[in-house]
Amino acid sequence: MIYTLPPLPYASDALEPQMSQETIDYHYGRHLQTYINNLNDLIIGTPYENMPLESVIMTATGPIFNNAAQVWNHAFFFNMLSPEPKPMPHELKEFIIRDFGSVEEFKVQFKKAALSLFGSGWVWLVQNDEGKLLIIQEPNAGNPMRNGYKPLMTIDVWEHAYYIDYRNRRAEFVDRCWELINWKKVVKRMH
């Protein structure tokens, strides 16, 4: 399988001012493209060559896992953003309130997880087998599917995700990301 850059569901400047065209050009156009190129090179002649991407993530280790997971994580992240506000549907709000107390408290806990993740990684809203919502930190290329969780939403907290627009201000980046999340897509992923 030859992986290619998944199309963005919006123009590269559509997420401004929260996410600049320059960030999209580098983050989507260069970083994601590099993970795709690396993955295509690494899987040649291996059992992963004709495996669906999610199966690669579930079984690979080392560089093949890292690049495959980064391809999946970034495609998921960029696909979930939207230039038009998509408010949280009632059914998701009910689950958030049940499992975190309130939407505000969920955002506080998510931001805390984003800020306390040392180094590079991803913060995820996931659902477990019982349907409970959880906030999960994953370092580096980590993907919660490896631990049996269903990913619902994520924010990339690698420095490359925010350094052009926010420099070292990861907290401000997370705050502004809330304005871009397409909650309709998040709820569609729920069990």
Output 80 or 161, the one with its CB closest to Mn ion.
Answer: 161
Q: Considering the rule CB under 5 A, would residue 158 count as an interface residue with Mn ion?
A: yes
Task: Say whether residue 165 binds Mn ion (CB under 5 A).
Answer: no
Q: Which stretch binds Mn ion (CB under 5 A): 54-62, 89-97, 112-120, 149-157?
A: 149-157
Nearest to residue 149, comparing CAs of 164, 173, 129?
A: 129
Select the span of 10-18, 122-130, 144-152, 161-169 touching Mn ion (CB under 5 A). 161-169
Residue nearer to Mn ion on the CB measure, 76 or 158: 158
Tokens of 103: 């939407």
Contact 107, 135 (CB under 8 A): no
Question: How many residues belong to the site for Mn ion (CB under 5 A)?
Answer: 3
Structure-token match 């123009």, residue found: 11
Short-list 143, 147, 152, 57, CA closest to 110: 152
Distances (CA, A) of 84 to 9, 27, 115, 179: 12, 20, 26, 9
Q: Is 156 in the site for Mn ion (CB under 5 A)?
A: yes
Residue from 74, 77, 68 nearest 153 by CA:
77
Residue (24 or 60) nearer to Mn ion, CB: 24
Cα(143)–Cα(131) distance, integer angstroms: 18
- Minimal CB distance residue for Mn ion: 156
Are 64 and 39 in contact, with CB atoms under 8 Å apart? yes
Question: Considering all CA atoms of the chain, what is the largest pairwise distance in Å, rounded to the nearest integer?
Answer: 50
Least separation, in Å, of the C-beta of 73 and Mn ion? 7
- Pick the closer one to Mn ion by CB: 96 or 170: 170
Pick the closer one to Mn ion by CB: 19 or 161.
161
| Site for Mn ion contains 138 (CB under 5 A) | no
Q: Give the pairing type, strands 121-127 and 133-139.
A: antiparallel
Q: Which range, of 12-20, 110-118, 133-141, 153-161, touches Mn ion by CB under 5 A?
A: 153-161
- Interacting residues with Mn ion (CB under 5 A): 156, 158, 161
